[in-house]
Structure 1
Amino acid sequence: MAEKNVIVNLEARMRALIDDHRRLTGLCGELTAQRDELRAENRALQERIRELDAELQRMQLTEGLAGTSRDREKARARVNRLMREVDKCIALLGRPDPAAPETGA
């Protein structure tokens, strides 16, 4: 009789474990899908933030260049920095490529 109770107890515990496993596997799948959706939404929002930051910088530069802002000096400094970068690029374009094979006579 005692053996039968032990077997019945084990069977009940096994069924409970199997039910828990099924429930938790389903929950894990749902949470994984939710996580993926949130990651995609986060990426989209991060991209939107970058776009808005770039737009804000453009607007501040425009406002500064128009002379209607206290940030006029910042705008001029940014324009000067950008011009120096362009000058560096132009200078690099004029230099010969050291990795290119020399074709001399």
Structure 2
Amino acid sequence: MALCDKQKQRIDELSGIISQKETEIQLAKEKINELNAKCDNMLTARVVSVNDGDLKSARTRLSKLVREVDKCIALLNE
């Protein structure tokens, strides 16, 4: 009986640890999404403030962003 109680206690401990780790994973995913958004914003800002030498790559990035926005709008309209 004591072994059964120990096992139940261990299961409870492990369940708590799993719950804590899942929370940490969720927070990490949110942080990753936040950092990706910041990165996209920085790239967008870079597109707006380009030098003459970077004009072609800036146009390419801007076109990509426009296509991405168009896709999002299309998804919202569905």
Fold similarity call, TM over 0.5: yes
SS of aligned partner of 1:45: helix
1:83 is aligned to 2:77: no
Gaps of 5+ in 2: none
User: Given residue 54 of structure 1, which amino acid in structure 2 is its aligned partner?
Assistant: A
Identical positions, percent: 23
9, 17, 21: which one aligns with 1:38: 21
Q: Distance in 1 between matches of 2:65 and 2:43?
A: 15
The higher relative CO (CA closer than 8 Å, separation ≥ 6) is in 2
Could you tell me which residue of structure 2 aligns to residue 50 of structure 1? Answer: 33
User: Given residue 44 of structure 1, which amino acid in structure 2 is its aligned partner?
Assistant: L
TM-score by length of structure 1 reads 0.54
Instruction: Count how many residue pairs are aligned between Structure 1 and Structure 2.
Output: 71
42, 53, 69: which one aligns with 1:59: 42
Gaps of 5+ in 1: 1-17, 94-105
**Which one has a bigger Cα radius of gyration?**
1
Could you tell me which residue of structure 2 aligns to residue 22 of structure 1? Answer: 5
